[in-house]
Chains A and B, each alone.
Chain A
Amino acid sequence: MTALIVGALIAVAAVVLVALPFLRTHADDDRLDAPTPAEELRLALIEERDHALGALKELEFDHRTGKIGDEDYRSLVGPLRRAAAEALRALDRPQELPGSTANPDGG
């Protein structure tokens, strides 16, 4: 009998927990907060920017630790800087992103 009561209590507690989101929030606030296509594109650009900046940091460290010689360093640093600058520029052009409503002046 005790087992039955405890079992029923567990089931009731589970039902309450599962129903809680419907009891606590209003139906008009029921959209999942997923990134829009424009936000996703920006996310991809941010990742590219972070890759480029990370690669530059890594290159500097490898050069300082002697893993990369001066000649290799010079041949690699230019393209990486250009890639980083390009990624930063792309992020600074929100008006060019599909579906974006952002003001080019930043407003």
Chain B
Amino acid sequence: MADLGRAALVVSLGLALYALIAGTAAATTNRRRLADSARNALLACFGSTAVAAAVLATALARHDFSFTYVASHTNRTLPLIYSLSAFWGGQEGSLLLWLLILTGYGALSVAVNRRLLKDLVAWVVPVIGGIASFFAFVLVAVSSPFDTQTRPLDGAGLVPSLQNPYMVAHPPMLYLGYVGLTVPFAFAMGALLSGHTDERWIIATRRWTLAAWTFLGFGQILGAHWAYVEVGWGGYYAWDPVENAALMPWLAATAFLHSVMIQERKGMLKIWNMILVALAFELSVFGTFLTRSGVVNSIHSFAKSSIGGWFLAFVVISALFSVVVIVWRLPLLRARTKLESALSREAAFLYNNLLLVALCLTILWGVIFPILTQLFEGQTRTLSRPYFDFFLRIFGLPLLLLMGIGPLIAWRRTSSRGLLRTVRWPAGVALVTGGALIVAGAGSSTPGLISYTFCAFVLTTIVVELVRGTRATGSLLELVARNRRRYGGYVVHASIVLLVIGVVGSSAYSTTREHELRVGQSMSVDGYTLTYQGQSTARGADNVQTNALLSLSGRAGGMLKTGVYDYDNQGLAKAVGIHTNWLRAEDLYVIYNEFDKQTNAIDFIVLVKPLVNLIWLAGFVFVAGSLVAIWPDAREQRRLAARLALARA
């Protein structure tokens, strides 16, 4: 079995190299059959990688411990679903998943566009082939999931925190996002290399970019929920380097999705869009480097390994390649039109882009700062939460406000009188909301108060836009159908508002209390009264479970269980107790912190997190909005075909 996996990966490497070399030769010498052959190599590469993936999945399902990877990440007691999810629980398996998705995306994207973008696809194939060659090489020569050993009686098992349903979906979702950003990158590079920098590559990759961005965004929400329910510290985002690694390409892709609209409407920002596409791709590979290399401390990262250097080299080479190609084609990317007014929709998009990229780069600085201090000063200095929170407020709040103002501004230019007329409703509602919040006591947090006031502004803007648009077209459905991207985008904006409300509520307005309780003693937090009833210990399949039972009164009733699980091979894990008040979208979150054997008391940490559940709701609204925007539109394909046909008439 392992031999088959190894052989399939060697074939994948050969095919990816062929796609790179033959594809480059075909594109430079303008030979169609060689280009088709290279394209087929990419398809075959996906097939052989799928065989390798099937071999690993089978070994995991069968608990075949002769595979070192299987023995290192599973054991006999692990349920099948978690045995299979161990595919991405370790370094080698997740690299194989990366290659599988990359070749799958690559083969599909070139197959779909092979007729309308023949000239571009000829260059896209070697770009994807080059990236696939790197991953296949690492899998074959540096970090193979098919290394074998003398079969032990049992495996080491999967880290307890990874034995969670969210971990079944969260990593593949992130990979679909990370790897998906390769498609717009490859087509952008294809357009530059071929010298055909018209809008076809943008139209062809729009949905790919949106899909990758959606996967990346939803994957992060899933990851945040996993951290919240599983890691047991009461939060969902810790500005951890690996968490940031997923956020940075998402921010760059968000900037691209906005700025590309200016290129489509006015032919401007061509260079900027190329830079953003390249940045999003490079950040996604850099994120993989952070996760794999062990250069940063993170609960998400894999142990220090030998592949970090390879990844760093790949990031540097691919970034240099992007810069050289963009600089080479600068004359083709010059815009023929200019920004007409600082008070226009395109200007608002530009401000939004600058803020998004500034936020992305400050996060990047926060991530690489410890690496650089270690390198140059010999000691690691980290930038912690206050640094990230500060820049999130500095750039995030204006971004939130722009999300409300942007849609109200017309393209080309708007007079200040016209703008004042259109913002009067959102501004009025925002001011009333802000006043009401101060009266309600929300003034205890100034950033919180500003955020909620801006949220009211954005939500009113969305409602005003929908009402005015429906009046103009006569039907909401027709309005949305006419411009799915815009109105899907508004739904996504609404999801960001929900996210902000949830994040602000659960951080700026949360309460935390720590208290030692003996059996029968109580503590009160924000109207909740918790009485410790006693604890029990039970033997699980591969762990010893100690659970404390608390009765609730006051704002909630019933019982709540919180505990600590001691795994045979993997150490301790917290099992937090969460009581949700759905009406207030609030959680009562109880952590079993420590048991004092001398006093028989348990130290509980109790958090009340208002509105936290809106964050998870935001994830679903985000996906719904993205789906509206992604939904296939036959008119676009027809328009693309008509443009090409007319150009050739």
Contact = CB atoms under 8 A, between A and B. Distances in A.
Nearest to B198: A43
A37 to B, nearest CB: 10
Interface in B378-436: 408-415, 417-418, 421-422
A35 B199 CA distance: 14
A39 B35 contact: no
A78 interface: no
B583 interface: no
Contact of A14 (B11, B119, B199, B472): B11
A54 B40 contact: no
Contact of B15 (A14, A69, A72): A14
Interface stretch (B43-51, B81-89, B135-143, B601-609): B43-51
B53 to A, nearest CB: 13
Contacts of A69: 415, 417-418, 421
Interface in B192-226: 194, 196, 198-199
A57 B434 CA distance: 37
Interface residues of B, number: 63
B418 A51 contact: no
Contact of A68 (B30, B194, B418): B418
Interface stretch (B1-9, B67-75, B297-305): B1-9
Interface in B11-45: 11, 14-15, 18, 26-27, 30-37, 40-41, 43-45
A13 B44 contact: yes
Interface residues of A, number: 51
The main secondary structure of chain A at its interface with chain B is helix
A9 B156 CA distance: 35
B44 A40 contact: no
Contacts of A91: 646
B31 A34 contact: no
A35 B648 contact: yes
Contacts of B541: none
A69 B409 CA distance: 12
Contacts of A34: 30, 118-119, 122, 194, 196
B471 A65 contact: yes
The main secondary structure of chain B at its interface with chain A is helix
B198 A47 contact: yes
A102 to B, nearest CB: 8
Given A43-B644, A55-B411, A76-B412, A32 B35 contact: yes
B44 A51 contact: no
A62 to B, nearest CB: 4
B469 interface: yes
B265 A25 contact: no
Contacts of B47: 10, 13-14
A83 B412 CA distance: 14
25 contacts: A7-B3, A7-B8, A14-B11, A17-B40, A17-B43, A18-B40, A20-B40, A30-B31, A32-B30, A32-B118, A34-B119, A35-B196, A40-B647, A47-B199, A50-B639, A55-B265, A65-B468, A65-B469, A65-B471, A67-B408, A67-B410, A67-B468, A68-B410, A69-B421, A72-B413
Interface of A: 2-4, 6-7, 10-11, 13-14, 17-22, 25, 27, 29-35, 39-40, 42-44, 46-48, 50-51, 54-55, 58-59, 61-62, 64-69, 71-72, 76, 80, 91
Given A22-B37, A66-B468, 14 more contacts: A3-B1, A3-B3, A6-B4, A6-B51, A7-B4, A14-B11, A14-B48, A25-B36, A32-B26, A43-B198, A58-B410, A65-B468, A67-B414, A69-B415
